[in-house]
Amino acid sequence: MKRPTPLLVLLLASAACRTSSPTQQPAEPASSAKGAPAAAPKHADMIDLIDRFLANPRSVDPAPILDFGTNDASVLVVVDQSLQGVAVGDGVPEDVAPLLLAAFWAGNMREQLTTGTKGDAKNAGLVAVVEVYELLAREGVSVAGAAELAKAHAEGTLDAWIASHPGQ
């Protein structure tokens, strides 16, 4: 069995150390007067970085995204066993696993930051995995679990896929 990459070990360790429960909590409310234009999102720079990563994952360093997700109190990302074989583990190439795992974090965090609701956004994270996987598949990357997830998403059965792949 291949040894996990240092980035993957860091991601899994930091996710395991998070002690917050995966309940949804309102993020800090935007402060704008009635009728006044809404202020720019508090984390506009992070949302922009996430968008650039999701559009071209090989050209953007995911480390700042992962660092933010691990250390910023405005988001909660829960990494569980449902990602096994999809973004990490057997069948996922060593150079692809960090990108797919970062895609999960990026999509999950983007949903929370844009809605202003702190709470694990697993569906959004999995959709981001599908989007990044589809970009990588154009390069010839093949991951059976991610392909299965992409098929479920295309068929509109993502919720059923999640139910059949529960986290631990």
Task: Note the residue count of the chain.
Answer: 168
- Total number of domains in the chain: 1
User: Which residue carries 């692809």 as its tokens?
Assistant: 96
Question: For residue 23, is it within any domain?
Answer: no
Question: For residue 140, is it within any domain?
Answer: yes
Question: For residue 118, is it within any domain?
Answer: yes
Shortest CA distance to 103 belongs to which of 140, 155, 149?
149
Which residues of 18-116 form beta strands (DSSP E)?
25-26
DSSP state of 26: E
Per-residue pLDDT of the chain (168 residues), as tens digits, is 444 444 444 444 344 333 333 444 444 444 334 444 444 457 899 999 999 999 999 999 999 999 999 999 999 999 988 888 888 888 899 999 999 999 999 999 999 999 999 999 999 999 999 999 999 999 999 999 999 999 999 999 988 988 888 774
Q: Given this model, what pLDDT does residue 165 score?
A: 83
Q: Given this model, what pLDDT does residue 91 score?
A: 87
Report how far residue 133's alpha carbon sits from residue 142's, in angstroms, rounded to the nearest whole number: 8
Task: For residue 60, give its domain range.
Answer: 6-13+42-164
Sort residue 65 into left (φ over 0), alpha (ψ -120 to 50) or beta. Answer: alpha
Kindly report the pTM of this predicted structure: 0.77
- With contact defined as beta carbons under 8 Å apart, do 94 and 5 qualify? yes
